Amino acid sequence: MDYTPFSYVTAEKAGIYREIMRVFVEAKSHFLVHLRPEEVQQQLGEPELATVQAALTQLVNWGNLGAERDNARVSSVEDYYRALYVYQITRRGEAVEAALDTFDRELGRRGALQSVALEDIRTRLRALLALAQSESPDATESQLLLRDLASVFTDLAENARAFMAGLNRTLESEGSDADAFLVYKERVIGYIERFLGDLTTASGEIAELIRTLDGEGAESGGAPDQAPVARLLRQAAERELADLAPGEWRDEGAERARAFAEAWRHWHGHWAGLRAWFLDRPGRQAQARLLRNSARRAVTQLLEMVSRLNERRMARSDRSADFRTLARWFLECEDDASAHRLWRTAFGLAPSRHLLVDRETSERWQHEPVSATTPWAEAPGMQIQARLRATGSYQKAGAPAKLRSRRRERELLARRLAEEASATRAARRQLVERRAERLSDLGELDEGAFRLLLNLLGDALAASRGDGETVATTTADGSLRITLSPLGAETRAEIRTAAGRLIGRDYRIEIHDLEEGTWMT
C-alpha cells in the first residue's frame, strides 16, 4: 500500500502543509469543493503567493490534493498558457487528515471513570434479559440493545484505560507545583473512591445478569448455543444480512453463510469481552477487579507522593541558601585560624598531617602552629606506626572473614511477615463480619482487631471537620474505608479488650473492605 500521502507530516515545511490541508478539510465541511491559490493564501494569511503555490504543487505530487485547469479565468492566450489551477482534497488526503485528527484526539484524551456507564450497562442487561425470556423476541430490539450495550461498554473500557494511563503519567512525573498537586490529589482521590463504590455495587448485579443470560450450563469461555443470549446474538447477526449487497460469488448461499459467520463472531466477541470484564475465569481475574486494584494502588501512590512533598517542605535543601549561610559564617570568624578550621570542616580539605595525630601533637600544634607553606624537610617530625610505614595500612594482612549465612534470619523474617499479614487479615475480617451498626455494638475485640479499630478511628477523627459532621476516610494501603456518623453528645460506647476498656462517644459506623467488596453496617 502506498503511504506517500503521509509524507507532508514529517517534511521540512510540515507546518504550512498541515495548515493548507486543514483549510481544505474545513472548506469541504462547508460544501466548498474547489479552492484557488488566492483563496488558500487568504485563509492562511501568508504574504507570499509563491510560497502557497509551491506547497500546493508539492501536495498534488504526494497525492493529498488534486489539481484541475481553471478555465473559468482564461480570458486570453497568455492566461491559457499560464496554466491556472483550482485544487480539491483527494480521498487519500481526507483519510490522512482523519487519521491525524484521531491521533491528536487520542493523545489529548483525558479519560474518565464513568459511573453513569455502569448504570447504563445494568439497564441494558435487564432489558436484554427480559427480551431473552420472552417467547418471540423482536430482532430489531435485540440488535439495538446489543449495539447500545457494545457502545456504552466500549466507552467505559476506553475511558477507564485512558484515565489510568494519564494518572500513571502524573504519578511518574512529580510536578514542581506542590500546592496545585495537593488540590489535584484531593479531587482525584474523591473521584476514584466514588467510582470504586459504584463499581463494587454494580459489578455484582452485572455479573449475575451475565450469568443468567448465559444460562445454567454456560461455559467460562462464552455463551453456548442454548443460552438465552445466544438467540439474541443470532438475531442481531441475521438482521445484518438483510442489507447484504450482492457480491462476486456465484454461490449466494455460501456468501451468506460467510457473512453470517463473520457477523456472529463480531457479536460473540463483544459478549465475550463483556464477560471477561465482569466475570473471573480460571487463571485470569476479571478486568473490573484489576481496575479496582489499579485504582486502589493509585490512591496509595498519591498518598505516598503527598508524604514526600510534605517531607520536602519540612526539610527543603537550597544550595544557594547554604552557600550564603557559609559566607556569613566566614565573615563572623574572629581570625584566619578560625576561618581555616571552618574551611577544612565545610569542605573536608585537611592537610596530609592527619595520618596519625594524637592529643599531645594537636596541642603542640596549637601552641606552635606550622604554616602550610613550610617545607617537609623543615617541619617538625611525626611518629607513625611501623606497620603503616611498611605497608601503608593500619590493618593486619590476612584472610578475610568468612561470610555468614543469613538463611535462618531470612526465614524468620518471612515467617513473621506472614504471621503479621495473617493477623491483619483476621483483624480486618473480624471488624467487617461483626456487622455492628454502632460503635457500641462491637462488643469485645481481640488485640489485633482493637489496634486496627484504633487506627481507623484515629484516621477518621483526624479528617473530621466538626463534631456533628459525617466523615469518611480510607486507610493508607487502600484496603479499608470507614464512615463515622456522630450520634448524640450524651451517648456512650464501650469496647472491651484484654488490655482494658475504651469508653467514648458513640458513633454510627460503616466499615467497607475494598479488597473483598464487603460492608459492615
**Backbone phi, psi, residue 297, to 5°:** -60, -35
With respect to residue 219, please indicate whether it lies within any of the assigned structural domains.
yes
| Cell numbers describing residue 174 | 512529580
Q: How far does Cα 249 stand from its chain's mean position? A: 50
Rg of the chain (C-alpha set):
38
153: left (phi over 0), alpha (psi -120 to 50) or beta: alpha
Tell me if 228 sits within 8 A of 213, measured CB to CB.
yes
* pLDDT value for 220: 41
Q: Which residues contact 512 (CB under 8 A, 6 or more apart)?
A: 197, 480, 481, 482, 483, 518, 519, 520
Tell me if 521 sits within 8 A of 512, measured CB to CB.
no
- Provide the 10 A C-beta neighbour count for residue 294: 14
With respect to residue 453, please indicate whether it lies within any of the assigned structural domains.
yes
CA–CA gap between residue 509 and residue 485 (Å, rounded) = 7
| Cell numbers describing residue 372 | 602550610
In this predicted model, what pLDDT tens digit does every residue of 311-370 receive, in sequence order?
666 555 567 778 888 999 999 999 988 898 888 888 876 655 445 566 677 778 788 888
In this predicted model, what pLDDT tens digit does every residue of 80-136 receive, in sequence order?
556 678 898 999 899 998 888 887 776 655 556 667 777 888 888 888 888 888 878
Q: How far does Cα 455 stand from its chain's mean position? A: 28
Considering the chain, what is the average pLDDT of its residues? 77
| Cα-Cα end-to-end distance for the chain | 63
* Half-sphere exposure at residue 38, Cβ-oriented, CA atoms within 13 angstroms: 3
* pLDDT value for 172: 61
With respect to residue 338, please indicate whether it lies within any of the assigned structural domains.
yes
With respect to residue 195, please indicate whether it lies within any of the assigned structural domains.
yes
Q: Which residue has the cell 477507564?
A: 160
CA–CA gap between residue 514 and residue 294 (Å, rounded) = 12
* pLDDT value for 332: 92
156 and 270 housed in the same domain: yes
The CATH number that applies at residue 15 is 1.10.10.10
Which residue range(s) make up the domain with 93? 4-107
CA–CA gap between residue 68 and residue 34 (Å, rounded) = 9
93 and 182 housed in the same domain: no
Domains in the chain, number: 4
In this predicted model, what pLDDT tens digit does every residue of 226-256 receive, in sequence order?
677 888 888 888 877 766 666 555 566 777 7
In total, the chain counts a number of residues equal to 521
Query: Residue ranges of the chain with pLDDT lower than 50?
Result: 176, 217-224, 353-354, 518-521
